[in-house]
Amino acid sequence: QIQVVQSGPEVKKPGTSVKVSCKASAFTFSNSAMQWVRQARGQRLEWIGWIVLGSGKTEYAQKFEERVTLTRDVSTGTSYMELRNLRSEDTAIYYCAADKGGFDVWGQGTMVIVSS
């Protein structure tokens, strides 16, 4: 049974970067991807991007493509999302979801607060 565990909450200052990790257990990288989504308080879900875990190929939402980088570490089964040049509007819960074709299992979410 796939389980996805994300890193803990972060508080960051504007202009800095944050890196959120996501570890999926009982989950093989082959034929799989990791989706990244965020949700500001009371707002809709917002797709950030995805990474194909076998090849490392990425695709980003146009809104984020200049500030976000998705990576993965095959040896540890961990995926990462780095968001740079943070602004207050980036305050949100960030989710990853292990995807074997069906956006299968979501992580618990990571709260990122951007505040001076």
Partner 1 sequence: QAVVTQEPSLTVSPGGTVTLTCGSSTGAVTSGHYSYWFQQKPGQAPTTLIFDTRKKHSWTPARFSGSLVGGKAALTLSGARPEDEADYYCLLSYSSARPVFGGGTKLTVL
Closest among 85, 115, 79 to 97, alpha carbons compared = 79
Residue number with CB closer to partner 1 (90 or 99): 99
Closest among 101, 111, 110, 100 to 2, alpha carbons compared = 100
Q: Is 29 in the site for partner 1 (CB under 8 A)?
A: no
Residue number with CB closer to partner 1 (6 or 83): 6
Q: Which of 10, 61, 67, 113 binds partner 1 (CB under 8 A)?
A: 61
| Residue 101, burial from CB neighbour count under 10 angstroms (0-12, 13-18, 19+) | exposed
Residues that bind partner 1 (CB under 8 A): 37, 44-47, 59-62, 95, 97, 101-109
